Amino acid sequence: MSTPPRPVTAEDCRAADRADPLRPLRSRFALPEGVIYLDGNSLGALPRDAVARSAEVVTQEWGHDLIGSWNKNAWFDLPVRIGAKIGRLIGGDGGECVATDTTSVNIFKALAAALRIQDEDAPTRRVIVSERDNFPTDLYIAEGLIELLDQGYRLRLIDSPDELDDALGEDVAVVLLTHVNYRTGRLWDMADASARIHRSGALAIWDLCHSVGAIPLHVAADGADFVVGCTYKYLNGGPGSPAFVWIAERHLARAVSPLTGWWAHREPFRMSDSFAAADGGRRFLVGTQPVLSLATMEVGVDLHLEVDPDALRRKSLALTDLFIALVESRLAHHPLELVTPRDPENRGSHVSYRHPEGYAVMRALIANGVIGDYREPEVLRFGLAPLYNGFTDVWDAVETLRRVLDDELWRAPEFQLRDTVT
Ligand SMILES: *Cc1c(COP(=O)(O)O)cnc(C)c1O
């Protein structure tokens, strides 16, 4: 297949948008006029159909059908039904996926379940391997669980993928990795890493927060034991929408969630005085589900199920390639250091740059209509969501960045103060 030439002028970008087979999907999202939204990796844009769906759940299902909705509108099955759809999106053949709780809580459950399986099979394995620059919650949850278990577990952190083999060994129980790094956008080869982890006798938990909805996934074929991920980033599920947890088929019978709430019970409405876990994925539920968030989130998941993941990936890489090329050709005179891998094979769907005044630069960019975000230290992050971002967006964003830097717009005092959420 021939790759179209990379656009180099504003007109080329407009032509690339016209030729883009995914372009029509943009109209399925409500995006404000005059804004270039490059933060879909933090909070995905609003699918237009989600407006009607959330109104329907509130007005009809809650307002009119009231408590009957648990049965009549199948609220009870939402986490399993939507989880199954996400399971399809991530290539979770044979395993089970439920949509529930937050990624943080799901990491806790998956990690505890994996440690327990290993404790039965190989009780001398007491190390959890992860990455020092993993998303903080992943590390915090692991630390907290280690302390709670109080069984001599410890965390071993690696500083780059090259250190994985050295970190593996007879003492490692579980490896907890994030598929696409939230700051740098670096992508792990899941199949290769999982195979190495398994050869060493450990289990692999993958966090898909920055890859689901942007990268084709085959978690079962690629050897994941458990995966977790969120739905409010590239899946466009809405602010704080429930996350998911997937358990590989080979662990379904044995995987035990440490949070044995009544929704994990085999028969929750028998109101039994003792716990008996449900089969499969359901046992990873805890308590009453956030129905409004789940129902709204399903719209984003359905939208993704319509799209060919390989086409999405091709466009995502074309967008990030263009961004990198334009910064290189038009902004070379500024101290912007690319921290995202240049090799497309190793890159997710966002591009990050270090700049000594990163925070103020991002504030100035946002004030000028280009919404990206900032991550410590000094990192400007631009998420290119292939469902709704286009080539002209990239051109215009880079030109605005050029103006912010050339004219030193970031020096204005109002851009120096930190907001609570960056
Ligand atoms: C966004 C993100 C999270 C978020 O966790 P929440 O519990 O939803 O706040 C966790 N891990 C990674 C790698 C992320 O990128």
Q: For Cα atoms 305, 228, 29, give the angle at the middle one, nearest 5 degrees.
A: 35
pLDDT at 6: 78
Average pLDDT, integer, range 73-81: 98
0.85 surpassed by pTM: yes
Q: In ligand 1, which atom is closest to the CA atom of 243? A: 8
Q: 10 Å Cβ neighbour count for 190? A: 23
CB 267 within 8 A of CB 242: no
Catalytic annotation present for 182: no
Strands 244-247 and 226-229, sheet pairing: antiparallel
Q: Is the CB of 188 under 6 A from ligand 1?
A: no
| pLDDT value for 3 | 59
How many other CB atoms sit within 10 Å of the CB of residue 104? 17
Q: How far apart are CA 360 and CA 341, in angstroms?
A: 24
Cα dihedral value 402, 406, 411, 416, nearest 10: 20
Q: Which pLDDT band, with edges at 50, 70 and 90, does 202 fall under?
A: very high
On the 0-12 / 13-18 / 19+ scale of CB atoms within 10 A, 330 is middle
Q: Answer whether 216's CB lies under 8 Å from 309's CB.
A: yes
pLDDT above 90 covers what percent of the chain? Answer: 96
Query: How much is the pLDDT for 421?
Result: 80
- With residue 146 as reference, give the H or E element that holds it: helix 136-149
232 is catalytic: yes
pLDDT digits (tens, 9 = 90+) for 127-167: 999 999 999 999 999 999 999 999 999 999 999 999 999 99
CA-nearest of 360, 356, 398 to 377 is 356
Pocket test for ligand 1, best of 104, 133, 139 (most atoms within 8 A of CB): 104
| Cα(69)–Cα(64) distance, integer angstroms | 9
Q: How do residues 236-251 score in pLDDT, each as one tens digit? A: 999 999 999 999 999 9
DSSP per-residue string spanning 273-334: SS--BPSGGGGG--S---HHHHHHHHHHHHHHHTS-HHHHHHHHHHHHHHHHHHHHHHSTTS
pLDDT of residue 1: 44
Q: For residue range 97-126, what is the model confidence (pLDDT) as tens digits?
A: 999 999 999 999 999 999 999 999 999 999
Instruction: State yes or no: pLDDT of 66 exceeds 80.
Output: yes
Is 381 annotated in the active site?
A: yes
How many angstroms does the Cα of residue 63 sit away from the middle of ligand 1? 32
The predicted model gives 378-387 an average pLDDT of 97
Question: How far apart (Å, rounded) are the C-alpha atoms in residues 294 and 231?
Answer: 10
pLDDT, position 4: 62
Q: How does DSSP assign 21-79, residue by residue?
A: TTGGGGGGEE--TT-EE--TTTSPPEEHHHHHHHHHIIIIIIIITGGGHHHHT-GGGHH
For 7-52, the pLDDT digits (tens) are 789 999 999 999 999 999 999 999 999 999 999 999 999 999 999 9
Span 263-289, mean pLDDT?
Answer: 96
pLDDT higher than 60, residue 2: no
3-state SS class at 261: coil
Instruction: Work out the mean pLDDT of the chain and round it to a whole number.
Output: 97
Name all domains of the chain by residue range, CATH numbers in brackets.
10-47+308-416 (3.90.1150.10), 74-305 (3.40.640.10)
The residue to mutate among 108, 180, 182, having the most atoms of ligand 1 within 8 angstroms of its beta carbon, is 182
Q: For residue 130, what are the contacts with CB-CB under 8 A and spacing of at least 6?
A: 138, 139, 142, 155, 156, 157, 158, 175, 176, 177
Length of the chain equals: 422
Measured from the CB, is residue 209 less than 6 Å from ligand 1? Answer: yes
pLDDT of residue 417: 85
Is the pLDDT confidence value at 401 over 80? Answer: yes
Nearest ligand 1 atom to alpha carbon 230: 8
Mean pLDDT of 300-324: 98
404 vs 368: CA distance, rounded Å: 8
Our answer to whether residue 234 is catalytic in this structure is no
**Residue 380 reports pLDDT greater than 60:** yes
Q: Which amino acid is at 99?
A: A
* pLDDT score of 298 more than 80: yes
391 is catalytic: no
Give pLDDT tens digits for 329-343: 999 999 999 999 999
CA dihedral 338, 343, 347, 351 (to 10 degrees): 30
- At 261-273, the pLDDT tens digits run 999 999 999 999 9
